[in-house]
Amino acid sequence: MERTITIKSTHIPEMIEVFGEGYQEEVPDGNGGTMPNPLTKQQFADKNFMQEWKDYIKKRVMHYRRKNTVIDETDIIQDEL
C-alpha cells in the first residue's frame, strides 16, 4: 500500500519551520572545523518529517504485533532516506 501526504502550499513555510527546527547553516566537517550544510533547511525538514512518520508507523505496528503475539520484527517501511 502506498500513500501520499499532500500539504497545502500555504502551510509549507510553517512545516519547514516546525520540522526544520535545529537546522544549522554550518555542520562539523570531521576535521575539527565546519563546512556548509549539504542540506537546505527544506531538505532537512523533509528528512525529519519523513523520519517521524516512519518512527510512528513502526511503533504502531510493533505494538500491534506484540499485542497479538506476532514475533516478526521485520521493518515494514521501505527505507528511502
- Domain range for 39: 35-68
Is 1 within a domain?
no
pLDDT tens per residue, range 49-79: 999 999 999 999 888 888 887 666 676 666 6
pLDDT tens per residue, range 2-28: 888 899 999 999 999 999 999 999 999
Is 43 within a domain?
yes
Is 79 within a domain?
no
Is 16 within a domain?
no
pTM of the entire predicted model: 0.73
Render 6-73 in DSSP notation, one character per residue.
---GGGHHHHHHHHTTT--SEEE-SSSSEEE-SS-HHHHHHHHHHHHHHHHHHHHHHHHHHHTT----
Is 25 within a domain?
no
Is 7 within a domain?
no
